Structure 1
Amino acid sequence: MHDAHVPGLRRRGFLAATGVASLGALALTGCGGSGGEGSDAKGDGTPKRGGRLRAAFAGGGAAETLDPHLANLFADAARAKALFDKLADYGADLSAQPRLAEKWEPNKTLDRWRVTLREAAFHDGSPVTAADVLYSYRRIADPGRAFRAKASLEPIDLDASRATGRRSIEFVLKRPTAEFPNILASFGAYIVPEHAGEAAGFAGGPIGSGPFRFVSFTPGRSAVFRRHDAYWEGAPYLDELEFVVADEESARVNALLGGQVQYAHELHPATARAHEGKGRIEIVRLRGSAMQGFAMKTDRAPFDDRRVREAFFLIADREELVAGALSGAGVIGNDLFGKGYEYYADDLPQREQDLDRARALLKRAGAENLEVTLDTSEAAAGFTEAAGIFRDQAKRAGVTIDVRTGSKDTYWADILDNGTLCSYRSGAMPIEAHISQRLLTDSTTNATKWRHEDFDALYRQAQSTRDPAERAAVYARMQRRLYTEGGFVVWGFADWILATAPAVRGVETEAPANTLHWARFDKVWLA
């Protein structure tokens, strides 16, 4: 699912970022505090057991998979979360939270980490062991396979890592890594049983340790799962969960209105406004779930001049972009990724449009009457609208922007190395991951071509710093530099919107996409 490195979220897809990675993912959620016994996120009584919930997602036809290490589409990722577990997952602030891992502890030099597993069982009753974890990670890292979490696991020396007990693992790292728990929470880093191996098939009867057990799967049509009563975090309230495919938004909404499904994934802001408060369906907004912006290539003219980049920061009217491109379904940005996430530099002044200063900067840079091409496409909602709005804003500063609309199918690959300015989007991920994947000299999804050895050194310093406060200070220093001279014009953070039937309970609304709380169908019930 390409969103732009999600962080490359396709319109029908899931997670990761530009060129391949962006996610931008999300869905129905239920966090530990709102879905438990005796609680109700909507305030409508205690949880109720039983029933089947049908959830409508856009699909991928024959390419759909139950292999959790291949999950790319939103539907694939949601199904993987129902069947499998990771060692950790991201909390609402994108910090790593323990899941199958009960705890983790580093050595003094942060290049060895001991992980202790909790007592948990696979669907066939066998225990989740250290051997299963190492098998799963080595499978993901197989150089002959294209698994999504492979790059995330790169810091681990899997040949040297070993089981030190049935439920304990010593991970040996190639370099100090203070944010090692983020690796455990990586998208797609699910644990599968060693004894099943490739014979598990993932299509014919996958075995996981998640809250639901496999019943049936027809790619491009549906998947049915049944409650796993022995789930380590407590059995789901639902008896069964069915995923159905409806590629068009109108089909998902109509199925919800007609009672054929109880959950519809991925709604447009205009659709949400049309139905919100009418009583027939419930609109759920997951705030701040997708960064929206423009990427300037800092290694080529005109954006190799920091004065031009600063001018473009000042051209953007963020309120107008959020209102027009997102139909108001979001909040303004401040040219930094990760608003509200762990380590976010929220002490920097909110940047506002200043066309006079933008003109002065362009004049000093010798870039008066600048003409530049802005690449965009329909690869993500709001892209073409934002490009048009920004073109008009730039015109008032004396800048002519030619908006070039490319193919949505190849957009993320096309803009990774080509052009000078492009529309960009990214789903939720830790700020540390955003830096490592997109802003280091050797980052493979570096859309802004930000390459500075001293910046790389600061990242290594942060990863070698054991004290969290001292580490946060290094990240703050890095963000201050990006704020003044970086290549991302981050104008907003979009809500992700879904809808449910009025009878659906236990939906958590406070966490962004790509977190532990996304797609928590095990915490949902039917009133």
Structure 2
Amino acid sequence: MSEEARRPRLHLDRRRFFETSSAIAAAAAMPRILSIPRALAQAGSTMVVAAPATPQSLDCNFDVSLGTFEAIAALYDGLLGFNKIPDPNVPTALREDIAYHADKPGGVNMYGKLAESWELDPQGRWARFKLREGVKSNWGNELTAEDVKWTWDRAFALGALGAFYTKVSGLTKPEDVRVESKYVVSFNIDAPNPLLLKIHTNLYTPVYDSKKCKEVGGGDDPWARKFIENNSAGFGPYQLQQLVRGQQAVFKARSDYYAGKPAIDTVVFKEVPTSAARVQLLRGGAVDIAQYLQPLEIISLKGVPNVAVETVPASFMIWIELNAKMAPFDKVDVRRAMNYAFPQADVMKSVFQGLASPLDGCMPNIYPGYAGKLVDYSYNLDKAKELLARAGYGDGFKTSLAYNAGDPVQEPIAIIYQTSLRQIGVELELKKVPAGSFYNAVTERKQPMIFYVDSPWCPDPGYSLTLYFDSKSYVNYSNYSNPEVDGLLAQAASTADDEIRLEVTRKAQAIIMDEAPWTFVAYPNYTMARKANLKGWTYYTSNNIRFQDFSRA
């Protein structure tokens, strides 16, 4: 395997959200998707999803590309889940209850998935889980504590995304995860950690069927990397029937799923690269769900017969990385100036069409611990010029901004920004990067400025801030480094006292916002565009759908 292939695709290659919506591109995409047999598309127990991309890998330790995290949610289960509540603004939708609950263990309103029950040390130094008995994987092997242990041993052994999860949950070595009995497993840490329970609600902390993995991996591949990349060994509601990358993935509901067979028997997850084609397929009734559409396309679907469109606030964020290891962005005043020169209100109106809110923070504004608007970067070219002069760039400078050719909102944002920056002497070269290689361009950290779209999948301020701003985090693509911030995040990770955590994470947010490692763009909403007779949609902070939620009206 090449070095490039080994790189962990952490958060998130959903940057392949969209392609250009030109009529030519739409027409080119139509013949392949319309090859779906009419009977299959209309079958009551079949759901067809038009998506930008099929799963690139089924190994969630190394890949979160668009399509992959949809597959993980179908093929695997974790120990816990957030209880659901009605969305306050969309009565036909549910969402996870991610609020802090002081009267519940860990402050989390959870239900058991693979875990039947659990205990949490009052000091937050251990958590013990009693597993459901008789739960079978898609290979027929029973769930035991050994499977949980093997799963976390794999995370320690392979690093990548697993290393992030072990770190943020306070685990330092494989021995911290202990098999207490056949159906009881415990997690034990040296210092209190607020994520000891919450981490197990995360989509990317599933449990593997270790018996199957050991069987197929053998001595040559003890962690079954080759197998898991293309197959599943999990305890989730679906099993993989077909995966043809670039075309489609087909999932079949498991009749032996411990929570009951899902209502939708077959899911056809079809790759339709252009959003315009996805819209037309939904309009024509050929698909049940059209994912990741442009704002104007979303608006165009409202009022279309037999189509339902629901938009809710989400954990999505879009920003521009300002590479702190490259001049001139190694100077804080330059980064501040780039924010004062960003016409955010114009972008909200002309690009997002009211389907987003201004990114005025460095973590999702729907999460507990979000500190609010700590720094006012309202559009102010005079202030931007003043800061550039103070940084020694009174005459401006030349730089470049890389954007994803597969995301239709990035190019118009870049053009608006380019025009604005020209007024303060900054000449911005725009670099269109193909969707297939854009994530690699982000992870290489060689661009002075590059767009990024992401969401931290755990609704916690310490998790969110550590992901993007800890100097040692893989996902710190702006190369931001501040020892004080590192110390505050370490403090937040080592106490279960919610008041202390909120205080230190607020301080961290204030420093980060002031030092501006990003150009802050938007909080895009999550939109579900689907056939009106498809019920059961829940918004998840992982910004994906769960096939098992849906049924026909």
- What is the match of residue 174 of structure 2? 158
* Counterpart check, 1:324 vs 2:350: yes
Partners of 1:149 and 1:186 within 8 A in 2: no
Mapped contact 1:310–1:484 kept (Cα < 8 A): yes
Residue 477 of structure 1 and its aligned partner are, at CA, apart by 1.0
Q: Quick check: 1:105–1:114 contact (8 Å CA) kept in 2?
A: yes
Scaled by the length of structure 1, what TM-score is found?
0.80
CA contact (8 A) 1:375 1:404 kept: yes
Q: How big is the shift at 1:70?
A: 5.6
Which residue identity lines up with residue 158 of structure 1 in the other structure?
P
Once the two structures are TM-superposed, the CA of residue 352 in structure 1 deviates from its matched residue by 1.7
Aligned ranges 1:105-254 → 2 under 5 Å: 105=119, 107=121, 110-119=124-133, 121-123=135-137, 127-143=142-158, 148-154=161-167, 155-156=170-171, 157-173=173-189, 177-199=193-215, 206-215=232-241, 217-229=243-255, 231-254=257-280
CA distance in 2, matches of 1:249, 1:199: 41
1:174 Cα deviation after fit: 7.0
Q: Give the superposition deviation at 1:273.
A: 2.1
Moved more, 203-212 or 436-445: 203-212
Distance 1:437 1:308 in 2: 24
Give the corresponding residue for 2:388: 362
Matches of 1:421 and 1:79 in 2, distance apart? Answer: 31
Distance 1:153 1:436 in 2: 13
Return the alpha-carbon distance in structure 2 between the equivalents of residues 496 and 247 of structure 1: 19
1:7 aligns with 2:39: no
Cα deviation for residue 269 of structure 1 reads 1.9
Alignment of 1:331-342 (within 5 A): 331-342=357-368
Show the 5 A alignment for 1:279-294.
279-294=305-320
* 1:259 maps to amino acid: G
Residue 196 of structure 1 deviates from its aligned partner by: 2.2
Deviations 1:67-117 (A, max 9, x none): 565653433322321222012456464987453345555557655433343
Cα pair distance change 1:359/1:111, threshold 3 Å = same
Percent pairwise identity = 20
- 1:114, 1:125 → 2: CA distance? 25
Gaps of 5+ in 2: 19-42, 83-95, 101-107, 217-226
2:530 to 486, 500, 505: 500
Conserved in 2, the CA contact under 8 Å of 1:324 and 1:386?
A: no
Q: Does 1:310 align with 2:315?
A: no
- Work out the CA distance in 2 between the residues paired with 1:488 and 1:119: 48
Q: With CA pairs under 8 Å and 6+ residues apart, which has the higher RCO, 1 or 2?
A: 1
Measure, in 1, the Cα distance between the counterparts of 2:13 and 2:241.
31
After TM superposition, the score normalised by the length of structure 2 is 0.76
Number of residues of Structure 1 aligned to a counterpart in Structure 2: 484
Q: Structure 1 residues 419, 72: closer, same or farther in 2, change over 3 A?
A: closer
Which residue number corresponds to residue 222 of structure 2? Answer: none
Change (3 A) 1:475 1:119: farther
- Aligned equivalents of 2:416 and 2:181: distance in 1? 59
Aligned pair 1:422/2:450, yes or no?
Answer: yes
1:404 is matched with which residue?
Answer: 431
CA distance in 2, matches of 1:206, 1:297: 38
CA change 1:223–1:350 in 2 (3 A) is same
**Runs of at least 5 residues in structure 1 that lack an aligned partner in the other structure:** 14-48
Moved more, 463-472 or 272-281: 272-281
**Alignment-mate amino acid for residue 150 of structure 2:** Y
TM-superposed deviation, 1:280 = 4.2
TM-aligned CA deviation for residue 5 of structure 1: 5.7
The equivalent residue for 1:41 is none
2:219 paired residue number? none
The whole-number CA distance in structure 2 between the counterparts of 1:105 and 1:474 is 27
Q: Letter of the aligned partner of 1:411 in structure 2?
A: F
| Farther-moved stretch of structure 1 (148-157 vs 164-173) | 148-157
Distance 1:218 1:392, change over 3 A: closer
Per-residue deviation, 1:172: 3.5
C-alpha displacement of 1:495:
2.4
C-alpha separation in 2, matches of 1:407 and 1:240: 32
* Cα displacement (A) at 1:227: 3.7
Question: For 1:81 and 1:179, how far apart are their aligned partners in 2?
Answer: 21
Distance 1:64 1:480 in 2: 37
1:55 aligns with 2:49: yes
Q: Is the 8 A contact 1:293 1:423 kept in 2?
A: yes
Tell me whether 1:458 sits opposite 2:488 in the alignment: yes
State the SS of the aligned residue for 1:10.
helix
- In structure 2, relative to structure 1, the CA distance for the partners of 1:345 and 1:301 (3 Å cut) is same
**Aligned pair in 2 of structure 1 residues 393, 105: CA closer, same or farther (>3 Å)?**
farther
Taking the aligned partners of 1:275 and 1:292, their CA distance within structure 2 comes to: 24
Distance change in 2, residues 1:160/1:513 (3 Å) = closer
1:391 paired to 2:418: yes
Q: 1:247 to 1:411 in 2, by over 3 A?
A: closer
SS at match of 1:433: helix
Looking at structure 2, the residues matched to 120 and 475 of structure 1 have their Cα atoms a distance apart, in angstroms, of: 42
AA matched with 2:497: D
Aligned amino acid, residue 210 of structure 1: G
1:85 correspondence with 2:77: yes
The alpha-carbon deviation at position 206 of structure 1 amounts to 4.3
Q: Which among 64, 67, 86 is matched to residue 75 of structure 1? A: 67
Aligned-residue Cα RMSD (Å) equals 3.5
Structure-1 separation of matches of 2:326 and 2:53: 39
Q: Distance in 1 between matches of 2:135 and 2:416?
A: 53
CA distance in 2, matches of 1:451, 1:103: 40
Residue range with higher mean Cα deviation, 452-461 or 169-178: 169-178
Any idea what SS the aligned residue of 1:489 has? strand
Change (3 A) 1:411 1:175: farther
* Change over 3 Å in CA distance of 1:385–1:482 after alignment to 2: same
Closer, same or farther: CA 309–164 of 1 in aligned 2, 3 Å: same
Within a 5 Å distance, the mapping from 1:427-446 to structure 2 comes to 427-430=455-458, 431-446=461-476
How far the C-alpha of 1:163 sits from its partner, in A, is 0.8
CA contact (8 A) 1:207 1:214 kept: no
Change beyond 3 A, Cα 1:161–1:335? closer
Q: 1:276 aligns with which of 285, 299, 302?
A: 302
CA offsets per residue over residues 131-161 of structure 1, 9 Å max, x none?
Answer: 1111222234433xx8754532355321342
